[in-house]
Structure 1
Amino acid sequence: MRALFASLVLLIATSCAPDSGGEEIERLEMRLSGWSSLDVVIDAGGNGTYKDSEPYPDGTRGGFKLARAELLELLAKLQPYHEQAVSFSEESAMRFIMRACPKGVPNVTDAGAFYVRWQSADDDVHYLADFGCDHERLADRNGELRDIVEGLPIPSVP
Protein backbone atom coordinates (compact mmCIF):
# COMPACT_ATOMS: atom_id res chain seq x y z
CA MET A 1 0.00 0.00 0.00
CA ARG A 2 2.82 2.42 0.84
CA ALA A 3 4.33 1.80 -2.59
CA LEU A 4 1.01 2.59 -4.30
CA PHE A 5 0.60 5.77 -2.30
CA ALA A 6 4.22 6.77 -2.89
CA SER A 7 3.84 6.33 -6.63
CA LEU A 8 0.72 8.55 -6.65
CA VAL A 9 2.38 11.32 -4.65
CA LEU A 10 5.51 11.21 -6.78
CA LEU A 11 3.43 11.24 -9.96
CA ILE A 12 1.59 14.30 -8.71
CA ALA A 13 4.84 15.93 -7.59
CA THR A 14 6.34 15.64 -11.04
CA SER A 15 3.25 16.68 -12.99
CA CYS A 16 2.46 20.25 -13.97
CA ALA A 17 -0.33 22.08 -12.21
CA PRO A 18 -2.95 23.52 -14.54
CA ASP A 19 -2.92 27.27 -15.12
CA SER A 20 -5.85 29.08 -13.60
CA GLY A 21 -6.95 32.68 -13.83
CA GLY A 22 -9.19 32.72 -10.76
CA GLU A 23 -8.93 32.22 -7.06
CA GLU A 24 -11.35 29.34 -6.75
CA ILE A 25 -10.19 25.75 -6.72
CA GLU A 26 -9.28 24.71 -10.24
CA ARG A 27 -8.49 21.10 -9.44
CA LEU A 28 -9.19 18.87 -6.47
CA GLU A 29 -7.45 15.50 -6.29
CA MET A 30 -8.35 12.86 -3.72
CA ARG A 31 -7.19 9.33 -3.04
CA LEU A 32 -8.84 6.93 -0.63
CA SER A 33 -6.57 3.94 -0.22
CA GLY A 34 -6.74 0.64 1.55
CA TRP A 35 -6.97 -2.81 -0.06
CA SER A 36 -7.92 -0.90 -3.19
CA SER A 37 -7.38 2.73 -4.09
CA LEU A 38 -9.92 5.15 -5.41
CA ASP A 39 -8.51 8.21 -7.21
CA VAL A 40 -10.82 11.16 -7.83
CA VAL A 41 -10.19 14.40 -9.71
CA ILE A 42 -12.72 17.25 -9.80
CA ASP A 43 -12.36 20.51 -11.71
CA ALA A 44 -13.80 23.95 -10.92
CA GLY A 45 -16.89 23.18 -13.00
CA GLY A 46 -17.74 20.11 -10.90
CA ASN A 47 -16.64 17.66 -13.61
CA GLY A 48 -15.20 14.62 -11.91
CA THR A 49 -13.38 11.48 -12.91
CA TYR A 50 -12.61 8.44 -10.83
CA LYS A 51 -10.59 5.26 -11.06
CA ASP A 52 -10.95 2.43 -8.59
CA SER A 53 -7.99 0.03 -8.60
CA GLU A 54 -10.19 -3.01 -7.91
CA PRO A 55 -10.79 -5.48 -9.38
CA TYR A 56 -7.10 -5.62 -10.10
CA PRO A 57 -5.63 -4.95 -12.63
CA ASP A 58 -8.37 -3.20 -14.60
CA GLY A 59 -10.49 -1.47 -11.99
CA THR A 60 -13.46 0.70 -12.76
CA ARG A 61 -13.32 4.20 -14.09
CA GLY A 62 -15.80 6.80 -15.06
CA GLY A 63 -17.02 10.33 -14.67
CA PHE A 64 -19.60 12.32 -12.77
CA LYS A 65 -20.85 15.87 -12.49
CA LEU A 66 -21.39 17.88 -9.32
CA ALA A 67 -23.75 20.83 -9.38
CA ARG A 68 -22.21 24.08 -8.13
CA ALA A 69 -23.97 23.68 -4.76
CA GLU A 70 -22.65 20.10 -4.42
CA LEU A 71 -19.11 21.22 -5.22
CA LEU A 72 -19.33 24.02 -2.65
CA GLU A 73 -20.68 21.56 -0.08
CA LEU A 74 -17.79 19.18 -0.78
CA LEU A 75 -15.26 21.99 -0.40
CA ALA A 76 -16.93 23.06 2.86
CA LYS A 77 -16.62 19.52 4.23
CA LEU A 78 -12.95 19.49 3.29
CA GLN A 79 -12.27 22.98 4.70
CA PRO A 80 -11.01 21.82 8.15
CA TYR A 81 -8.40 19.69 6.36
CA HIS A 82 -7.54 22.48 3.93
CA GLU A 83 -6.66 24.60 6.97
CA GLN A 84 -4.22 21.87 8.09
CA ALA A 85 -2.76 21.36 4.61
CA VAL A 86 0.83 22.20 3.73
CA SER A 87 2.21 23.78 0.59
CA PHE A 88 2.76 21.26 -2.14
CA SER A 89 6.32 20.53 -3.20
CA GLU A 90 8.41 17.47 -3.97
CA GLU A 91 9.88 17.85 -0.48
CA SER A 92 6.50 17.92 1.28
CA ALA A 93 5.33 14.96 -0.83
CA MET A 94 8.42 13.00 0.26
CA ARG A 95 7.74 13.93 3.90
CA PHE A 96 4.25 12.44 3.52
CA ILE A 97 5.70 9.26 2.04
CA MET A 98 8.38 8.89 4.69
CA ARG A 99 6.25 9.96 7.67
CA ALA A 100 5.84 7.32 10.31
CA CYS A 101 3.48 7.14 13.24
CA PRO A 102 5.22 8.62 16.30
CA LYS A 103 6.86 6.12 18.64
CA GLY A 104 4.46 4.91 21.31
CA VAL A 105 1.32 5.86 19.36
CA PRO A 106 -0.91 2.90 18.43
CA ASN A 107 -0.49 1.99 14.78
CA VAL A 108 -2.29 -0.46 12.51
CA THR A 109 -0.53 -1.25 9.26
CA ASP A 110 -2.46 -1.28 5.99
CA ALA A 111 -5.44 0.61 7.44
CA GLY A 112 -5.48 2.90 4.45
CA ALA A 113 -5.17 6.63 4.07
CA PHE A 114 -6.86 9.70 2.64
CA TYR A 115 -4.97 12.20 0.52
CA VAL A 116 -6.27 15.45 -0.92
CA ARG A 117 -4.66 18.19 -2.98
CA TRP A 118 -6.24 21.56 -3.71
CA GLN A 119 -4.91 23.52 -6.69
CA SER A 120 -5.71 27.05 -7.82
CA ALA A 121 -3.81 30.00 -9.26
CA ASP A 122 -2.79 31.16 -5.79
CA ASP A 123 -2.85 27.93 -3.80
CA ASP A 124 -1.35 24.47 -4.12
CA VAL A 125 -1.61 22.55 -0.87
CA HIS A 126 -2.12 18.96 0.20
CA TYR A 127 -3.11 16.94 3.24
CA LEU A 128 -2.63 13.31 4.26
CA ALA A 129 -4.47 11.32 6.91
CA ASP A 130 -2.96 7.91 7.71
CA PHE A 131 -5.91 5.87 9.03
CA GLY A 132 -3.63 3.47 10.89
CA CYS A 133 -1.80 6.00 13.05
CA ASP A 134 -3.61 6.57 16.36
CA HIS A 135 -6.65 4.98 14.72
CA GLU A 136 -8.81 4.76 17.85
CA ARG A 137 -8.40 8.41 18.83
CA LEU A 138 -8.85 9.55 15.23
CA ALA A 139 -11.72 7.21 14.33
CA ASP A 140 -14.21 10.07 13.93
CA ARG A 141 -11.91 11.96 11.59
CA ASN A 142 -11.17 8.83 9.58
CA GLY A 143 -14.87 8.04 9.28
CA GLU A 144 -15.65 11.60 8.23
CA LEU A 145 -13.02 11.47 5.47
CA ARG A 146 -14.34 8.12 4.21
CA ASP A 147 -17.89 9.53 4.26
CA ILE A 148 -16.80 12.51 2.15
CA VAL A 149 -15.54 10.21 -0.58
CA GLU A 150 -18.43 7.75 -0.25
CA GLY A 151 -20.84 10.69 -0.65
CA LEU A 152 -19.61 11.35 -4.20
CA PRO A 153 -21.78 10.06 -7.06
CA ILE A 154 -19.45 7.17 -7.82
CA PRO A 155 -21.06 3.76 -8.39
CA SER A 156 -18.29 1.82 -6.62
CA VAL A 157 -16.13 3.03 -3.75
CA PRO A 158 -13.61 1.04 -1.69
Structure 2
Amino acid sequence: MRPLFASFVLLIATSCASDSRGEEIERLEMRLSGWSSLEVVIDAGGNGTYKDSEPHPDGTTGGFKLTRAELFELLAELQPYRKQAVPFSEESAMRFIERACPKGVPEVTDAGAFYIRWQSANDDVHYLADFGCDYERLADRNGQLREIVKGLPIPSVR
Protein backbone atom coordinates (compact mmCIF):
# COMPACT_ATOMS: atom_id res chain seq x y z
CA MET A 1 0.00 0.00 0.00
CA ARG A 2 2.77 2.46 0.89
CA PRO A 3 4.40 2.21 -2.58
CA LEU A 4 1.04 2.91 -4.25
CA PHE A 5 0.42 5.87 -2.00
CA ALA A 6 3.98 7.14 -2.51
CA SER A 7 3.61 7.02 -6.26
CA PHE A 8 0.36 8.98 -6.04
CA VAL A 9 1.92 11.72 -3.90
CA LEU A 10 4.93 11.95 -6.19
CA LEU A 11 2.67 12.11 -9.23
CA ILE A 12 0.95 15.09 -7.68
CA ALA A 13 4.32 16.70 -6.95
CA THR A 14 5.47 16.55 -10.52
CA SER A 15 -16.90 28.83 -11.54
CA CYS A 16 -15.26 28.72 -8.14
CA ALA A 17 -16.37 27.60 -4.71
CA SER A 18 -15.16 29.53 -1.69
CA ASP A 19 -13.94 27.85 1.45
CA SER A 20 -14.77 29.22 4.91
CA ARG A 21 -12.00 31.83 4.57
CA GLY A 22 -13.63 33.18 1.40
CA GLU A 23 -10.85 31.80 -0.76
CA GLU A 24 -11.71 30.28 -4.13
CA ILE A 25 -10.82 26.58 -4.21
CA GLU A 26 -9.86 25.72 -7.77
CA ARG A 27 -9.07 22.03 -7.32
CA LEU A 28 -9.53 19.42 -4.63
CA GLU A 29 -7.65 16.12 -4.88
CA MET A 30 -8.34 13.20 -2.55
CA ARG A 31 -7.11 9.66 -2.24
CA LEU A 32 -8.53 7.03 0.07
CA SER A 33 -6.23 4.02 0.14
CA GLY A 34 -6.16 0.64 1.78
CA TRP A 35 -6.70 -2.75 0.14
CA SER A 36 -8.01 -0.74 -2.78
CA SER A 37 -7.61 2.91 -3.63
CA LEU A 38 -9.95 5.63 -4.73
CA GLU A 39 -8.66 8.82 -6.36
CA VAL A 40 -11.02 11.79 -6.63
CA VAL A 41 -10.53 15.19 -8.26
CA ILE A 42 -13.13 17.96 -7.97
CA ASP A 43 -12.86 21.31 -9.73
CA ALA A 44 -14.24 24.67 -8.66
CA GLY A 45 -17.50 24.07 -10.51
CA GLY A 46 -18.22 20.84 -8.61
CA ASN A 47 -17.25 18.60 -11.54
CA GLY A 48 -15.66 15.47 -10.18
CA THR A 49 -13.85 12.47 -11.56
CA TYR A 50 -12.88 9.28 -9.80
CA LYS A 51 -10.81 6.18 -10.35
CA ASP A 52 -11.43 3.24 -8.07
CA SER A 53 -8.94 0.38 -8.21
CA GLU A 54 -11.78 -2.09 -7.57
CA PRO A 55 -12.87 -4.32 -9.14
CA HIS A 56 -9.52 -5.64 -10.22
CA PRO A 57 -7.84 -5.78 -12.67
CA ASP A 58 -8.99 -2.55 -14.32
CA GLY A 59 -11.03 -0.76 -11.70
CA THR A 60 -13.81 1.71 -12.28
CA THR A 61 -13.68 5.30 -13.49
CA GLY A 62 -16.38 7.89 -13.83
CA GLY A 63 -17.56 11.35 -13.17
CA PHE A 64 -20.07 13.17 -11.00
CA LYS A 65 -21.38 16.66 -10.38
CA LEU A 66 -21.79 18.40 -7.03
CA THR A 67 -24.18 21.30 -6.69
CA ARG A 68 -22.76 24.51 -5.29
CA ALA A 69 -24.40 23.71 -1.94
CA GLU A 70 -22.93 20.18 -1.93
CA LEU A 71 -19.48 21.57 -2.73
CA PHE A 72 -19.75 24.11 0.10
CA GLU A 73 -20.83 21.33 2.46
CA LEU A 74 -17.88 19.16 1.41
CA LEU A 75 -15.44 22.04 1.92
CA ALA A 76 -16.95 22.71 5.35
CA GLU A 77 -16.58 19.05 6.36
CA LEU A 78 -12.94 19.11 5.26
CA GLN A 79 -12.12 22.46 6.91
CA PRO A 80 -10.82 20.99 10.22
CA TYR A 81 -8.26 19.01 8.24
CA ARG A 82 -7.32 21.97 6.08
CA LYS A 83 -6.38 23.84 9.24
CA GLN A 84 -3.82 21.08 9.87
CA ALA A 85 -2.55 21.01 6.28
CA VAL A 86 0.96 22.03 5.31
CA PRO A 87 2.14 23.90 2.21
CA PHE A 88 2.60 21.58 -0.74
CA SER A 89 6.12 20.98 -2.02
CA GLU A 90 8.16 18.01 -3.14
CA GLU A 91 9.86 18.14 0.25
CA SER A 92 6.58 18.03 2.21
CA ALA A 93 5.31 15.21 -0.03
CA MET A 94 8.47 13.22 0.73
CA ARG A 95 7.98 13.85 4.46
CA PHE A 96 4.49 12.34 4.16
CA ILE A 97 5.91 9.30 2.39
CA GLU A 98 8.77 8.82 4.82
CA ARG A 99 6.82 9.63 7.98
CA ALA A 100 6.72 6.82 10.50
CA CYS A 101 4.47 6.30 13.45
CA PRO A 102 6.21 7.53 16.62
CA LYS A 103 7.89 4.84 18.69
CA GLY A 104 5.56 3.36 21.30
CA VAL A 105 2.38 4.45 19.52
CA PRO A 106 0.04 1.58 18.51
CA GLU A 107 0.36 0.88 14.81
CA VAL A 108 -1.27 -1.38 12.26
CA THR A 109 0.26 -1.84 8.84
CA ASP A 110 -1.89 -1.61 5.71
CA ALA A 111 -4.77 0.12 7.48
CA GLY A 112 -4.98 2.67 4.71
CA ALA A 113 -4.70 6.41 4.56
CA PHE A 114 -6.52 9.53 3.46
CA TYR A 115 -4.74 12.22 1.49
CA ILE A 116 -6.15 15.56 0.39
CA ARG A 117 -4.77 18.55 -1.45
CA TRP A 118 -6.49 21.94 -1.70
CA GLN A 119 -5.37 24.22 -4.52
CA SER A 120 -6.33 27.86 -5.03
CA ALA A 121 -4.78 30.93 -6.61
CA ASN A 122 -3.01 31.84 -3.35
CA ASP A 123 -2.67 28.52 -1.57
CA ASP A 124 -1.57 24.95 -2.21
CA VAL A 125 -1.74 22.78 0.90
CA HIS A 126 -2.09 19.09 1.64
CA TYR A 127 -2.90 16.77 4.54
CA LEU A 128 -2.32 13.10 5.25
CA ALA A 129 -4.07 10.86 7.76
CA ASP A 130 -2.39 7.47 8.20
CA PHE A 131 -5.18 5.23 9.49
CA GLY A 132 -2.72 2.73 10.98
CA CYS A 133 -0.83 5.12 13.25
CA ASP A 134 -2.42 5.54 16.69
CA TYR A 135 -5.53 3.96 15.19
CA GLU A 136 -7.39 3.50 18.48
CA ARG A 137 -7.09 7.12 19.60
CA LEU A 138 -7.80 8.43 16.08
CA ALA A 139 -10.66 6.06 15.25
CA ASP A 140 -13.25 8.85 15.21
CA ARG A 141 -11.17 11.00 12.84
CA ASN A 142 -10.51 8.03 10.57
CA GLY A 143 -14.20 7.18 10.48
CA GLN A 144 -15.16 10.78 9.72
CA LEU A 145 -12.74 10.91 6.79
CA ARG A 146 -14.08 7.64 5.39
CA GLU A 147 -17.66 8.93 5.75
CA ILE A 148 -16.79 12.14 3.89
CA VAL A 149 -15.63 10.05 0.94
CA LYS A 150 -18.65 7.73 1.19
CA GLY A 151 -20.85 10.81 0.97
CA LEU A 152 -19.63 11.59 -2.54
CA PRO A 153 -21.89 10.47 -5.40
CA ILE A 154 -19.55 7.67 -6.45
CA PRO A 155 -21.38 4.35 -6.94
CA SER A 156 -18.45 2.14 -5.96
CA VAL A 157 -18.05 3.63 -2.44
CA ARG A 158 -21.68 3.81 -1.34
The answer to whether TM tops 0.5 is yes
- What is the identity, as a one-letter code, of the residue corresponding to 2:41? V
Structure-1 residue corresponding to 2:143: 143
Query: Deviation of residue 57 (structure 1)?
Result: 2.5
Query: Deviation of residue 157 (structure 1)?
Result: 1.8
Residues 1:111 and 2:84 aligned together: no
TM-score (normalised: structure 2): 0.94
Structure-2 residue corresponding to 1:30: 30
Matches within 5 A, 1:31-46: 31-46=31-46
Query: Deviation of residue 23 (structure 1)?
Result: 3.8
| Gap runs ≥5 in structure 2 | 15-21
- What is the identity, as a one-letter code, of the residue corresponding to 1:44? A
Structure-1 residue corresponding to 2:18: none
Structure-1 residue corresponding to 2:155: 155
1:55 and 1:46 map into 2 onto residues whose CA distance is 26
| Gap runs ≥5 in structure 1 | 15-21
Structure-2 residue corresponding to 1:78: 78
1:35 and 1:141 map into 2 onto residues whose CA distance is 19
Query: Deviation of residue 125 (structure 1)?
Result: 0.1
1:50 and 1:76 map into 2 onto residues whose CA distance is 21
Asked which structure has the greater RCO (Cα within 8 Å, sep 6+), the reply is: 1
Structure-2 residue corresponding to 1:59: 59
After the TM superposition, which parts of structure 1 deviate over 6 Å for at least 4 consecutive aligned residues? none
TM-score (normalised: structure 1): 0.94
**Secondary structure in structure 2 of the residue aligned to 1:48:** strand
Matched positions, count? 151
- What is the identity, as a one-letter code, of the residue corresponding to 1:100? A
Structure-1 residue corresponding to 2:19: none
Deviations 1:129-149 (A, max 9, x none): 000000000000000000000
2:134 and 2:120 map into 1 onto residues whose CA distance is 32
- What is the identity, as a one-letter code, of the residue corresponding to 2:156? S
Structure-2 residue corresponding to 1:96: 96
2:143 and 2:58 map into 1 onto residues whose CA distance is 27
1:57 and 1:81 map into 2 onto residues whose CA distance is 32
**Secondary structure in structure 2 of the residue aligned to 1:142:** helix
**Secondary structure in structure 1 of the residue aligned to 2:64:** strand
Percentage of identical aligned residues: 87
